[in-house]
Amino acid sequence: MAVYNIVEKEDELLRERSKNVPKITTNVLKLLDNMLETMYKSNGVGLAAPQVGVLKRVIVIDIGEGPVKLINPEIVASSGSQLGAEGCLSCPGLIGEVKRAKRVTVKAQLPNGEETTIEAEDYFAVVLQHEIDHLDGILFIDKAKRIQAQ
């Protein structure tokens, strides 16, 4: 495994729309593992492929309940709202209040190719929304009400 450099917010690459992954190759599996290692090393709870310079629709999350690796994740339903503090490994030192859906339903593929449907709420729902935003070139600072230096 390897640790990647994390792309920071000034980089235009973070503003691109990432591409669907048509086939789960060994390269994609390696990408997922390296992204997790990179995320853990930086004490993050989520990481999206564009943050390591790869424009593929791939995210990893671990909110303390074990690693989640998702390919082509898509929010298919959302409800409610919640306001919470967010940060981002691509925006070091910044924290902001972001309004998000309270619950989301996400469809995605797992590394073994299986389709999965995740019903998430509260913090897990926030992290899913934050990471999937990255795949569309959106950063939390675009949505945050108050942004503060940490």
Q: Which residues are catalytic?
A: 131
Binding-site size, Ni ion (CB under 5 A): 1
3-class DSSP state of 131: helix
Out of 45, 61, 88, 98, name the contact with Ni ion by CB under 5 A.
88
Nearer to Ni ion, 108 or 132 (CB): 132
In the numeric block, the tokens 């919470």 are attached to 84
Structure-block tokens of residue 65: 């309940």
Pairing relation of β-strands 103-109 and 68-79?
antiparallel
In the numeric block, the tokens 């981002």 are attached to 88
Nearer to Ni ion, 24 or 143 (CB): 143
Helix (H) / strand (E) element for 39: namely helix 26-41
Window of 20-28, 88-96, 102-110, 112-120 that interacts with Ni ion by CB under 5 A: 88-96
Q: Does 39 bind Ni ion (CB under 5 A)?
A: no
Q: Does 135 bind Ni ion (CB under 5 A)?
A: no
Nearer to Ni ion, 24 or 123 (CB): 123
Residues 73, 94 contacting (CB under 8 angstroms): no
Structure-block tokens of residue 22: 């048509």
Q: Does 28 bind Ni ion (CB under 5 A)?
A: no
Interface ranges with Ni ion (CB under 5 A): 88
